[in-house]
Amino acid sequence: MTSPAARGATHDIRVDAGRGVVVKRFRSWDRDEPAREWRALRVLAEHAPGLAPRPLSASLNESPPVITMSLVPGEPLASAAVAPAQVHALARALDRLWRSVPPQRLDPSGAANPARFTGQVRQQLAAGYELGADVRVRRAAARASAWLARGAVDREPAARGQVVLGQGDPNLANFLWDGREMRLVDFEDSGPSDRAFELAILVEHVSVWSDAGLDAETLLGRFELTAAERERLLQFRRLTALYWLMRLRPGSMASRRNPPGTLRRQADRLLALFG
C-alpha cells in the first residue's frame, strides 16, 4: 500500500509487507537527498547491521529517484510521553550510530550537517519572516538573531568533537520502537556531523519537547559529554530553537500542525537558553 504523503513531504513511501520491502520515491532531490540516504544505508549495513533498513536497490539518476530498502520492525514513537525504556533504547541506538561508522567512511564532499544547518537558518533570516504581534516572541527572535550575527556558532570548530554519521532529521517519527529495540529511518539529511549538533537538533525538535514532552536533560544525561561538547551543544540548541521559532510563525504549515500557543512556548524555550 502507499502511505498518504503529508503536505510538504519530500517523498512517497510504498510498503510491501509481504515481501518485506519499502520503496521510497523522492519528490525533491535538489539537496542530493537520495544519494545521501543511499550512502548512509550502505555504510550502516556494513558497520551497524540491524540499526537501519538494509539497502536493496537504488535508481538515483531516475526522475524521480527511487530507493528500495528492507522493512524494519517497529512503530514510530508517538507524539505522547516517551517511556523510560524508550529513552534508554533511543540513547543506545544513537550511541551505536555514532560509534559504529569510521570517520573515513563518511562522505567528504559538501558541508557537514552543522554548517549546512547554520547556513539554512541564516538564509531564512535573510529572507525575512513575520512573527505576529506577541512581544515575547519578537523579543526572542531579536535576541537570537543578534546572537547569531555575532558568529558564536561559527567560532565552534567541528574538530572539537569526533566526526560521526549524523542522521540530520530527528523527528520522533523517524525512530521505530518494537518494544525492545529502537531503529532509525530517514537518512536523506544525513552527513558528517558531531554528537553535540545531533543531540541539539534532537532535544529541540518540536516533536520531542512539545509533542512528547521529553525532558532534554533526561536524554542528555545518558551521554558522557566533554566540556567542549556541552558548550557546542548549547550554541546549537539556541540555533535550533531559533529555527523552530521561524518555522512556527503565524499562518505557517508548522503553526497549523501544532496546538495554539506553541509559538509562545517556543519563544519561552529560546529565551531560557540564553539564561
Average pLDDT over residues 242-252: 95
Domain count, the chain: 2
Q: Are 12 and 22 in contact (CB under 8 A)?
A: no
Query: Which of the residue ranges 93-102, 136-145, 152-161, 262-271 would you say has the lowest mean pLDDT?
Result: 152-161
Q: Is the previous residue joined to 64 through a cis bond, with omega within 30 degrees of 0?
A: yes
State whether 174 and 190 are in the same domain: yes
Domain end call among 47, 72, 97: 72
Domain end call among 57, 72, 87: 72
State whether 135 and 245 are in the same domain: yes
CATH label of the domain that carries residue 39: 3.30.200
State whether 137 and 50 are in the same domain: no
Domain end call among 48, 72, 96: 72
pLDDT at 148 over 50: yes
State whether 138 and 10 are in the same domain: no
Q: Residue 56: which residues within 8 A CB-CB, separation 6 or more?
A: 21, 68, 69, 70
State whether 66 and 140 are in the same domain: no
| pTM of the predicted model over 0.85 | yes
pLDDT in the model for residue 154: 82
State whether 3 and 116 are in the same domain: no
State whether 65 and 95 are in the same domain: no
State whether 182 and 52 are in the same domain: no
Average pLDDT over residues 83-109: 93
Query: Which of the residue ranges 38-42, 124-128, 241-245 would you say has the lowest mean pLDDT?
Result: 124-128
pLDDT in the model for residue 10: 74
State whether 159 and 216 are in the same domain: yes
State whether 201 and 80 are in the same domain: yes
| Residue 11 lies in domain | 1-72
Query: What is the pLDDT of the chain when averaged over all its residues?
Result: 91
In angstroms, the Cα distances linking 129 to 148, 243, 245 are 16, 11, 10
pLDDT in the model for residue 79: 64
Average pLDDT over residues 168-172: 94
CATH label of the domain that carries residue 104: 3.90.1200.10
State whether 11 and 85 are in the same domain: no
Average pLDDT over residues 9-34: 90
pLDDT in the model for residue 191: 94
Best-predicted range by mean pLDDT among 105-109, 127-131, 147-151, 269-273?
Answer: 269-273
Backbone angles phi, psi at 109, to 5 degrees: -80, 145
State whether 66 and 190 are in the same domain: no
